[in-house]
A and B are shown apart, each in its own frame.
Chain A
Amino acid sequence: MGPLLHIGTDALALGSVAASLGDGAGADGAIVTFLGLVRNHNLGRSVRYLEYEAYEPLALKAFGRIAAEIGERWPSTRLALHHRIGRLEIGEASIAIAARSPHRGDAYSACRYAIERVKQIAPIWKREFFDGGDVWIEGATAHPDDERARQEAERLACA
């Protein structure tokens, strides 16, 4: 089995992310997966490709924190999360998430929660190269301890 939480330059595969969660000793009823893709358009720009970078040790800690939050909010639900960095072409996957749980509702919620939290607190950045230029995308500034941000992720996860 591969690592549950991973950052690297290799192409992502949902199968290996899901497999990293093991077999759950037969107690699980669902795996929900999410694959984030590089889109060819953003804010009216024609995107050519993206470059991702991460502060890896802190990003892996952020992933671990998200997994722990999920374990508290949805007991018995476990998370695997792989993020790709480097140059990514249109249509390639930047993030792969799998949530495994005894119940499908918890697995769906945990999977959505994980991607929302990554966007809030993981020190990872994307640089967009589009027709006519390039720009660093700057999104959230949420500190991991910002409870309001965490609650917003939970609200989206349970919508």
Chain B
Amino acid sequence: MRVTVRLFARLRDIAGASELARDLAPGATIGDVWRQLAGEFPELSQYERSISTAVNADYARMDHVIGDGDEIAFLPPVSGG
């Protein structure tokens, strides 16, 4: 199955893209997507404990099982206002 990954702020700079398409096995979790990305872009690993995650624009945990066509977002610590 195929998902869209959204990356923001410094995560986007590290990966060099704001949006990526990735293929995953059925039953994969958000955590699986993160580990795949961190393998591709080792600099992402420093954010392992500080990122928030969302699926289809709703917060979700790393153990959330994703579905085909989902949009997975990885959000570094925020600084709005």
> Using a CB–CB distance below 8 Å, which chain A residues touch chain B?
36, 52-55, 57-59, 61, 83, 94-95, 115, 118-127, 136-141, 143-145
Check if A123 sits within 8 Å of B58, measured CB to CB.
Answer: no
Check if B75 sits within 8 Å of A55, measured CB to CB.
Answer: yes
Residue in contact with B75 in the complex, picked from A52, A115, A123, CB distance below 8 Å: A123
Distance from B46 Cβ to chain A, minimum over Cβ atoms (Å):
11
Which of B8, B59, B79 has most chain A Cβ within 10 Å?
B79
Give the complex CA separation of A152 and B58 in angstroms. Answer: 23
Count of interface residues, chain B, beta-carbon cutoff 8 Å: 20
- A-B pairs with CB below 8 Å: how many? 86
Give the complex CA separation of A36 and B75 in angstroms. Answer: 23
Check if A138 sits within 8 Å of B81, measured CB to CB.
Answer: no
> Using a CB–CB distance below 8 Å, which chain B residues touch chain A?
6, 8-10, 13, 50-52, 54, 57-59, 73, 75-81
Check if B81 sits within 8 Å of A55, measured CB to CB.
Answer: no
Give the complex CA separation of A91 and B51 in angstroms. Answer: 30
Chain A residues near B59: list those with CB within 8 A: 58, 143-145
17 contacts between A and B (CB under 8 A): A36-B81, A53-B9, A55-B75, A58-B57, A83-B80, A115-B81, A123-B78, A124-B81, A125-B76, A127-B9, A136-B10, A137-B79, A138-B9, A138-B76, A138-B78, A140-B78, A141-B78
